[in-house]
Amino acid sequence: MSEAISRTATKRTAESQDGRTSLPLTTLHKVEADGVQVFYRAAGEANAPAVLLLHGFPTSSFMFRELIPRLANDYRVIAPDLPGFGFTEVPIERKYSYTFDRLALTVEAFTQALKIDRYAIYVFDYGAPTGFRLAMAHPERLTAIVSQNGNAYEEGLGDAWGPIRKYWSEPTAENRDILRRSVLTLEGTRWQYTHGVTDPERVPPESYTLDTAGKQRDSTRSVFGLRIECETVSEIPGIFPEVEAAFACDLGQK
């Protein structure tokens, strides 16, 4: 597999005018993996312990833009855009299957393309069912799991999942359209950022605005987003027993 790199910096760190070292700079890359052009952000030394950041819906590696440099003094930090999100490109002829099983296989191919065989995973939202599949398939490769709202139990599917659960039980065009209008809109995306926040005005508007633009970048992107949100998530409860069992036995390492 070949890697095409677009660098934003050539040095690990930058110096400020007073000579003090600032945060490491993040570089932008693309690499072919599993027939997909995976866009990713990276920082840190190549020989440092690796940390893989897996984002959720409806965002991309952009959500980690402030975390990446803060980890990069101690780790090799890598944050890919999952297929269907951000700047990762899936050729139409690839006939990609948007399931968590496939996402996990693509991420596994991505780590192989970068020659990373040991890493920690930091999972958020959709990154969790993707990352947990990696962990169960290859527990020997995992050094740690860090979860930020990464659900592993059915109890974690709260009231907000009501409309999606209804679509699962009644996959009608009407219920699908309700989700399309509530999930794949600017207001629907903004809600995911601001719901439960004490002062929603403090949430930077570029976050949910850029996510919305990414989902609507072309005519197929919205279909992909709806496919992932409405149908792929129906796979989530099915993996819970396996994840719970893996947690119970320390991912098979005991």
| Cα gap 129→41, rounded to integer Å | 21
pLDDT in the model for residue 23: 81
Say if CB 110 and CB 29 are below 8 A apart. no
pLDDT of residue 114 exceeding 90, the answer is: yes
What mean pLDDT value characterizes the chain? 80
Taking 60 as the threshold, does the pLDDT of residue 49 lie above it? Answer: yes
Q: Which residue has the higher pLDDT, 232 or 140?
A: 140
CB atoms within 10 A of CB 191: 16
Tell me how crowded residue 121 is: count the other CB atoms within 10 A of its CB.
25
| Distances from the Cα of 147 to the Cα of 124, 150, 202, angstroms | 6, 5, 24
Instruction: Check residue 213 and give its pLDDT.
Output: 83
pLDDT band for position 223 (cuts 50, 70, 90)? very low
| Run of H or E including 124 | strand 119-124
48 backbone dihedrals φ, ψ, rounded to 5°: -80, 160
Residues in the chain: 254
Angle between helices 236-248 and 127-137 (to 10 degrees): 50
User: Domain residue spans in the chain?
Assistant: 3-252
Instruction: State the architecture of 3-252 in CATH terms.
Output: 3-Layer(aba) Sandwich (3.40)
Residues 123, 132: Cα–Cα separation, whole Å: 9
What is the average pLDDT across 240-249? Answer: 57
